[in-house]
Amino acid sequence: MSGEGRPPIQFLLSDMDGTLLLPDHSLSQRTVAAVRALREAGVWFSLATGRPPRAMLQQIEALGVDLPTAAFNGGTIVNPDGSFLVRHHLPVEVAITALALLSPQPQVEVWVFADGEWLLRDPHGPLVPMEQHALGYAPVVVERFDEYLPRIDKIVAASANTEMLMELEARLLTQVEGRAQASRSQPRYLDVTALQANKGQALITLAAFLGVPLARTAALGDGGNDPAMFRQAGLSIAMGQAEAAVKRQADLVTGSNVVDGAAEAIERFILPR
């Protein structure tokens, strides 16, 4: 929903990487101040990200988030005390299918998130250092993923070859249709999660938890996993550097994360005037 006649926003759900965070994964003072201004104005704020819960703690503290937050694209919703409001694991048969497709690809690093750990077989993959910096903790090296199959929160295919990831996304979607989600959270990352693990469902769950009508919610993001919440929100805002297909699905477009586009969106479109 867009236009001057839209109802006031009571709850904003925001993506993290590529949205709130700068390219070096830090938060600008302007963004921190914008989120603080939201809270002072009585507008609820929370996070929805492809990250695991463990990799959200620093940002939750810095932004003063005191609501449940959505990790793994909404597959896990964590209460402030660390307990789970929602948790959906990837079906075993889907995990087997995804690993069979992704593992043989020569330019793809396959990461598995389960039991609170980041699991991989090759610690020397070129994208590992960047991911370790973003998450704030090191991976656990394993020979096989078999023992984790019943408890997988997310599988990630990481590659600098974005065209290959787009092809793999299309192939995987045909194989897991109706059983799981497959979307690129960032150009280099293809996420595979449970069918219920999408940011749209996370927005619905959190809005119901808060007692806020969806028409009074807003969603802010930049990746291929964000239009799911755009479709549910009363107001949807895409970041300026998002792919054209993502921006087409949003009501409004703000600046890029390099120029504090998230703070700009909060100041211009969300905060009560």
Question: What would the two tokens of residue 98 be?
Answer: 């995804």
Spatial contact of 67 and 206, defined as CB atoms under 8 Å apart: yes
Among 142, 162, 194, where does a domain finish?
A: 194
User: Which tens digits make up the pLDDT trace of 53-84?
Assistant: 999 999 999 999 999 999 999 999 999 999 99
Residue span of the structural domain in which 203 resides: 11-87+197-270
According to the model, what pLDDT value does residue 236 have? 98
Question: What would the two tokens of residue 150 be?
Answer: 């019943």
Tokens 């609170």 correspond to 116
- Considering the domain architecture, whether residues 96 and 189 belong to the same structural domain is answered as yes
Is residue 4 scored above 60 in pLDDT?
no
Rounded CA gap, 55 and 210, in Å?
24
Q: Is residue 243 part of a domain?
A: yes
Among 147, 166, 194, where does a domain finish?
A: 194
- Considering the domain architecture, whether residues 98 and 74 belong to the same structural domain is answered as no
Within 162-263, strands assigned E span 180-186, 189-194, 217-221, 235-238, 252-253
- Considering the domain architecture, whether residues 138 and 183 belong to the same structural domain is answered as yes
The CATH number assigned to the domain holding 105 equals 3.30.1240.10
User: Which tens digits make up the pLDDT trace of 153-197?
Assistant: 999 999 999 999 999 999 999 999 999 989 888 889 999 999 999
According to the model, what pLDDT value does residue 176 have? 94
| Encoded amino acid at 88, one letter | H
- Mapped onto helix, strand or coil, the DSSP state of residue 127 is coil
User: Which tens digits make up the pLDDT trace of 81-109?
Assistant: 999 999 999 999 999 999 999 999 999 99
Task: Return mean pLDDT, the chain.
Answer: 94
| Encoded amino acid at 265, one letter | A
Q: Is residue 49 part of a domain?
A: yes
Rounded CA gap, 125 and 14, in Å?
30
> Strand pairing partners for 245?
none
pTM (global) more than 0.85 = yes
Q: How many domains does the chain have?
A: 2
According to the model, what pLDDT value does residue 1 have? 43
- Considering the domain architecture, whether residues 156 and 236 belong to the same structural domain is answered as no
Is residue 2 scored above 60 in pLDDT?
no
Find the radius of gyration of the CA atoms of the chain.
18
